[in-house]
Amino acid sequence: MKITVIGTGYVGLVSGTCLAEVGNDVLCLDLDVNKIKILEEGGIPIHEPGLQEMVRRNVAAGRLHFTTDQERAVKHGTIQFIAVGTPPDEDGSADLKYVLAAARNIGRLMTDYKVVVDKSTVPVGTADKVRAAIAEELAARGVQTPYAVVSNPEFLKEGAAVEDFMRPDRIVVGADDEQAVHLMRALYSPFQRNHERLIVTDVRSAELTKYAANAMLATRISFMNELANLAEKLGADIEMVRQGIGSDPRIGYHFLYPGCGYGGSCFPKDVKALIKTAADEAGIELQVLTAVESANNRQKHVLANKVKARLGDRLDGKHFALWGLAFKPNTDDMRDAPSRELVADLLQAGATITAYDPVAMQEAQRVFGPLPGLTYASGPNQALVGADALIIVTEWKEFRSPDFDLLKTSLKNALIFDGRNLYDPKLVRSQGFEYQPVGR
């Protein structure tokens, strides 16, 4: 099948590449000339395990192409995926300007039947707006080309994006057009594996499903973070509680890890957008989600608060080693990363920091800009030298089994604040460390 993907970011590039991998002829469009240049030169603009090799393989096979030419892109695919960003507006609602610009462009340039697929995370009712934008452009040209608009939200996780796309739990397709459903079924048939994964719904239910999934997962995390804070005060161990409740199949083990708050490009913005849509479009205050959001905002300060409780509110003259910057491991994404609040809190209190992240340091430098008091180390051990304590904010594998003897000799104090509960508290404490995890 001929497919166009509009927006070659995390979702667009992964989707386009995986669709090429199963034999489709895919053209990825982006307006960002630099991104397309990197891709045309054989690189990829993001860190995502397994993606680079897959891109190379499909480019070499002639199934995957990149362009900044909008006309070529609209001409190419019968299926036009819209995978552009939907960042939060000033008021927290999803900003649809990129989605609607992409839709208008399709309407302005299309000459034959198109299935326009909203893959971006968009509020309920967006498909109607996309349909209307295309209709307006067609009317302005005085043409009546048929088209369908489908909602097909994406559930991939960064760091595991290729695997998630290639082996999905489910594929949600919201459509009210038979021909479009037929095409989407054919497109996704290579991803079905041993049982039917495609769930066909009406368009609005598909749009809401995406927000519901992210909101539910964010709720679990905020709930566990609150319980962790409670466990700490009551002398219980949240890790034991996690195992105790996760073993109930009605609860399950996934997404029950407490920490220093959820971040990333999705949970924070999607929780906010759902609260806003509910209030504006339905007059409903989503009380649970409002609490989830405020609990998460508080949790992002949990590490800095622990540091201050231990070393004093003013941290002038104190120096910290920071392990991890990305919002989670296996990605260089810094969007809404908890490290951002932590760095701001510590610097504001007068401290200095040397940070290390296996892949996100370049992105961190872009995001933070030059900040007095923040420097970067070439490796985890280099970051430790002369620090008053180690603070861990991202659970990269390479932080899981450190040389504790080296840690002790490099740090001024044998003091670890761990926002991701990487170590067995008994073991670390038995080696003479003061260890402050979350909820244990």
Which residues of this chain interact with ligand NAD, rule CB under 6 A? 6-12, 29-32, 35, 83-86, 98, 101-102, 120-121, 154, 156, 158, 265-266
Q: Which stretch binds ligand UDX (CB under 6 A): 62-70, 253-261, 283-291, 350-358?
A: 253-261
Q: Is residue 223 involved in binding ligand UDX (CB under 6 A)?
A: no
**Radius of gyration of the chain, Cα coordinates, nearest whole angstrom:** 24
Q: Got the DSSP string for 98-162? A: HHHHHHHHHHHH--S-EEEEE-S---TTHHHHHHHHHHHHHHHHT----EEEEE------TTSHH
Contact 227, 41 (CB under 8 A): no
Residue 139 neighbours by CB distance under 10 Å: 11
**267 binding partner (options ligand UDX, ligand NAD, none; Cβ < 5 to 8 Å by kind):** ligand UDX
* 412 assigned to a ligand binding site: no
* 129 assigned to a ligand binding site: no
Contact 130, 82 (CB under 8 A): yes
- Residue 398 phi, psi dihedral angles, 5° rounding: -70, -5
Q: Is residue 407 involved in binding ligand UDX (CB under 6 A)?
A: no
Of 255 and 404, which CB lies nearer to ligand UDX in the complex structure?
Answer: 255
Closest approach of ligand NAD to the CB of residue 38, in Å: 11
Closest approach of ligand NAD to the CB of residue 152, in Å: 11
Total number of residues that touch ligand UDX (CB under 6 A): 19
Q: Is residue 158 involved in binding ligand UDX (CB under 6 A)?
A: yes
Based on the residue annotation, tell me whether 260 is a catalytic residue of this protein. Answer: no
Q: Which two tokens stand for residue 39?
A: 């891709």
Q: Which stretch binds ligand UDX (CB under 6 A): 122-130, 151-159, 174-182, 403-411?
A: 151-159
Q: Provide the CB-side half-sphere exposure for 420 (13 A, CA).
A: 22
| Residue owning tokens 């909101």 | 215
Q: Is residue 255 involved in binding ligand UDX (CB under 6 A)?
A: yes
**221 binding partner (options ligand UDX, ligand NAD, none; Cβ < 5 to 8 Å by kind):** ligand UDX
* 439 assigned to a ligand binding site: no
The residues, ordered by sequence, that sit 6+ positions from 307 with a Cβ below 8 Å of its Cβ are 315, 320, 346, 389, 391, 417
Closest CA to 325 of 272, 271, 361, 372: 361
CA angle 357/363/365 to nearest 5° reads 90
Closest approach of ligand UDX to the CB of residue 314, in Å: 29
Closest CA to 374 of 336, 319, 331: 319
* 25 assigned to a ligand binding site: no
| Residue owning tokens 């667009």 | 12
* 380 assigned to a ligand binding site: no
* 269 assigned to a ligand binding site: yes
Of 102 and 227, which CB lies nearer to ligand NAD in the complex structure?
Answer: 102
Closest approach of ligand NAD to the CB of residue 412, in Å: 39
Q: Given the rule CB under 6 A, which residues bind ligand UDX? A: 154-158, 214, 217, 221, 255-257, 259, 262-264, 266-267, 327-328
Task: Output the known binding site.
Answer: 30, 35, 86, 121, 155-158, 210, 255-259, 263, 269, 328, 335
Catalytic residues: 266
